[in-house]
Amino acid sequence: MPHYKTREEYWRAHGWPQLAAEVGRRTVEDLHKRGIKANPQSGVYQNTFNRLAEIYKKEVKSEKRSKEKREAEWLAQHKDDTDEQLLAYLRETVTLPKHLHNTAGLPGGRYIIKRFGGWYKALRMAGLLPPEEPAEATEPPPEK
C-alpha cells in the first residue's frame, strides 16, 4: 500500500484532482494574504491545506443537503403535474446553454428524465431542441 506524504497527494492519487486543486488554490491564496511563502511540502502549507480541506468538505456537504432539500421541495410541488405542465416548466427554466446538455442546478431534472424517458427527449418535446432526424432506411431500394 503506497504511503502518501500529504492529503493533497492522496486525493490526486484517488481520483479527486479537482478537490485537491480547489483546496490547493485556497491554501495558496490564504498563505499569500498572510504574507507567507511556503513550499507545498512544508508544514505550514500542509497545516493550512488540512484546515481548509475540512472547511471545504463542510461546504460541499452543506451544498449537497441544500440541493437535496430543493429537489424534495420541487418534487412535492410538481409530482402531480401533467406532461404539458412539466414541459412548460422546462420552457420557462431551461434558459442557460448548460441546461441543454445536463440537468446541473435544475430542480426536478432527474424526475423529468425519468418521466419522459431521457433529458434530450424531454427537451425535444418542449420544443427546445429540434426533432430527432428519422433513421435512414437500412433496406436497399426495391429492384426494378
Looking at residues 103-126, what average pLDDT do you find?
89
pLDDT at 125 exceeding the cut of 90: yes
* Helices (H), ranges, 1-144: 7-13, 17-33, 43-78, 83-93, 97-101, 109-116, 119-125
Predicted local confidence at residue 5, as pLDDT: 82
Question: 2 falls in which pLDDT band (50, 70, 90)?
Answer: confident
Residue 87: which region, alpha, beta or left (left: phi > 0; alpha: psi -120 to 50)? alpha
Going 55 to 59 to 65 to 68, the CA torsion angle's sign is negative
Query: Contact, 116 vs 125, CB < 8 A?
Result: yes
Confidence of residue 137 (pLDDT cuts 50, 70, 90): very low
Mind listing the pLDDT tens digit for each residue in 91-101?
A: 998 877 776 77
Q: pLDDT tens, 63-110?
A: 999 989 999 999 999 999 999 999 999 999 887 777 677 777 788 988
Q: pLDDT for 10-51, tens place per residue?
A: 888 888 888 889 999 999 999 999 999 988 889 999 999 999
SS3 category, 40: coil
At 141, the pLDDT band (50, 70, 90 cuts) reads low
Domain map of the chain by residue range?
1-66, 81-132
